Amino acid sequence: MKPIKFAASCVISVLLLTINTSWATAEVNLYSARKEALIKPLLDKFTEQTGITVNLVTGKADALLTRLKSEGKNTPADIFLTTDAGRLHRAEAAKLLQPIQSDLLNSSVPKAYRDPEGYWYGLSLRARPIFYVKDKVKPSSLSTYEALANSEFKGRICIRSSGNIYNQSLVASMIAAEGDAKTETWAKGLVGNMARAPKGGDRDQIKAAAAGQCDIAVANTYYFAKMLSGNDAAQKKAAEKLAIFWPNQNGRGAHVNISGAGVTAHAKHKDNAVQLIEFLASEEAQAWYAQVNFEYPVRDGVKASEILQQWGDFKADSLNLSRLGDLNSNAVMLMDRAGWK
């Protein structure tokens, strides 16, 4: 009987170990370049539904990339979440991400907004259109990004620096459409039309236009929406002086980009990581992004927020956003040659 008792004891021990291990791994570690307030409510909802605890680390995108590199195989991170496909490409190129296969993600996220090999998936969408001062610019005088290099706009444009990833991706999209030579000619013309040396963020370009420093600004839509809907009276007043123009509507469409996520190369909780990314691409999460963050859902059938709906529908560039990463270095060198500071 003793051997039987011993065997039973071993079985019980193994079961207890399995249960304890299962509870111990009911977690996932997320490195996020999005601020806590812009994602934490969704993570809490995920935990509520699945029982999986999300350990969140937030920081600047480039700092988190550096951290992932330095941690190597010892990184606790299971997911890297950031803004801009260009940054996701940098993570992939540095071998910090691994490809995943998810039928749910492949059916939820359009091809243009995910990596062809499954290294990352878009979770929310933002556009980078043209903004114009309503009492200084007739919308009929606007047409395309390319036209901003025309002489009629000399000294009238505000835009961020060439070091900004959003502008790098915009230029990369133009290289994909027009080639290096035409895009460089355009960039030189745009630099010549700048009202001032680039400085500040997207909101600063909008505020500068409202203050009379320029007539046209290039910025991401969600910054404009937050200025219009926020509690800062000065920012709201500035934004109200401007309107959106959707460029390239008779051609490739307005430039769009994403926030997105990928599973890290050394993820210790891969299954939980995939489950979290799938949740973030769900209708529930997409609707929350749309209402709270003023970003467009990547998923079809989910309504944008009321303020975004007021701007009307627009044609978006259908370029697969992985190309923005592929062409990033070309874009950076081209902007430098054009004198874009």
**Residue 217 CB neighbour total at 10 angstroms:** 28
Q: Which two tokens mark 59?
A: 């920081």
Say yes or no to pLDDT of 175 above 60: yes
Q: State the pLDDT at residue 334.
A: 98
Say yes or no to pLDDT of 8 above 70: no
Say yes or no to pLDDT of 1 above 50: no
Q: Are 22 and 43 in contact (CB under 8 A)?
A: no
> Averaged over 248-277, what is the pLDDT?
97
Among 310, 308, 326, CA closest to 127: 308
> Averaged over 79-93, what is the pLDDT?
94
Which of 147-161, 237-251, 285-299 is the least confident region?
285-299
Asked whether residue 246 falls in the same domain as residue 269, the answer is no
Q: Cα 158 to the chain's mean position, in Å?
A: 22
Number of domains in the chain: 2
Q: State the pLDDT at residue 16.
A: 38
Asked whether residue 142 falls in the same domain as residue 186, the answer is yes
Report the distance separating Cα 162 and Cα 333, nearest Å: 10
Domain membership of residue 21 (yes or no) is: no
Say yes or no to pLDDT of 74 above 60: yes
Q: Are strands 256-264 and 157-158 parallel, antiparallel or unpaired?
A: unpaired
- Which 8-state DSSP code applies to residue 173? H
Say yes or no to pLDDT of 5 above 60: no
Asked whether residue 137 falls in the same domain as residue 242, the answer is yes
Asked whether residue 183 falls in the same domain as residue 329, the answer is yes
Q: State the pLDDT at residue 293.
A: 87
Amino acid at 10: C
| pLDDT band at residue 20 using 50, 70 and 90 as cut-offs | very low
Q: Are 297 and 286 in contact (CB under 8 A)?
A: yes
Say yes or no to pLDDT of 292 above 90: no
**Residue 283 CB neighbour total at 10 angstroms:** 12
> Averaged over 182-204, what is the pLDDT?
98
Domain membership of residue 20 (yes or no) is: no
Strand partners, 58: 32
Domain membership of residue 4 (yes or no) is: no
Report the distance separating Cα 276 and Cα 285, nearest Å: 11
Question: Does the reported pTM lie above 0.85?
Answer: yes
Which of 3-17, 72-86, 94-108 is the least confident region?
3-17
Q: State the pLDDT at residue 177.
A: 97
Q: State the pLDDT at residue 9.
A: 42
Which residue has 């505000």 as its token pair?
A: 158
Q: State the pLDDT at residue 95.
A: 97
Asked whether residue 202 falls in the same domain as residue 328, the answer is yes
Asked whether residue 132 falls in the same domain as residue 120, the answer is no
Asked whether residue 216 falls in the same domain as residue 280, the answer is no
Higher per-residue confidence, 286 vs 2: 286
| pLDDT band at residue 296 using 50, 70 and 90 as cut-offs | very high
Q: Are strands 130-133 and 97-98 parallel, antiparallel or unpaired?
A: unpaired
Domain membership of residue 329 (yes or no) is: yes
Which of 17-21, 185-189, 335-339 is the least confident region?
17-21
Report the distance separating Cα 72 and Cα 120, nearest Å: 19
Report the distance separating Cα 303 and Cα 308, nearest Å: 9
Burial class (CB in 10 A: 0-12, 13-18, 19+), 125: buried
Q: Are 228 and 222 in contact (CB under 8 A)?
A: no
In sequence order, what are the residues at sequence separation of 6 or more whose Cβ sits closer than 8 angstroms to the Cβ of residue 321?
85, 112, 113, 122, 256, 257, 258
Strand partners, 257: 126
Say yes or no to pLDDT of 154 above 80: yes
Q: State the pLDDT at residue 197.
A: 96
Q: Cα 128 to the chain's mean position, in Å?
A: 11
> Averaged over 258-276, what is the pLDDT?
97
Asked whether residue 265 falls in the same domain as residue 223, the answer is no
Q: State the pLDDT at residue 25.
A: 62
Q: State the pLDDT at residue 34.
A: 87
Report the distance separating Cα 230 and Cα 239, nearest Å: 11
Say yes or no to pLDDT of 28 above 90: yes
Asked whether residue 143 falls in the same domain as residue 91, the answer is no
| pLDDT band at residue 165 using 50, 70 and 90 as cut-offs | very high
List the domain range (segments joined by +) for residue 176: 127-254+322-337
* CA dihedral angle for residue 333, residue 153, residue 199, residue 319, rounded to 10 degrees: -50
Say yes or no to pLDDT of 141 above 50: yes
Say yes or no to pLDDT of 4 above 50: no
Q: Which two tokens mark 53?
A: 């605890």
Q: Which two tokens mark 207?
A: 């505020």
> Averaged over 246-274, what is the pLDDT?
97
Asked whether residue 121 falls in the same domain as residue 138, the answer is no
How confident is the prediction for the chain on average, in pLDDT?
92
CATH of residue 144:
3.40.190.10
pLDDT above 70 covers what percent of the chain?
93
> Averaged over 21-35, what is the pLDDT?
78
Q: Are 263 and 97 in contact (CB under 8 A)?
A: yes
Q: Are 33 and 83 in contact (CB under 8 A)?
A: yes
Domain membership of residue 57 (yes or no) is: yes
Among 62, 74, 91, 25, CA closest to 273: 25
What is the residue-wise DSSP string for 81-109?
EEESHHHHHHHHHTT-EE----HHHHHHS
Asked whether residue 40 falls in the same domain as residue 152, the answer is no
Higher per-residue confidence, 293 vs 97: 97
Q: State the pLDDT at residue 12.
A: 38
Q: Are 191 and 340 in contact (CB under 8 A)?
A: yes
Q: Which two tokens mark 10?
A: 């071993």
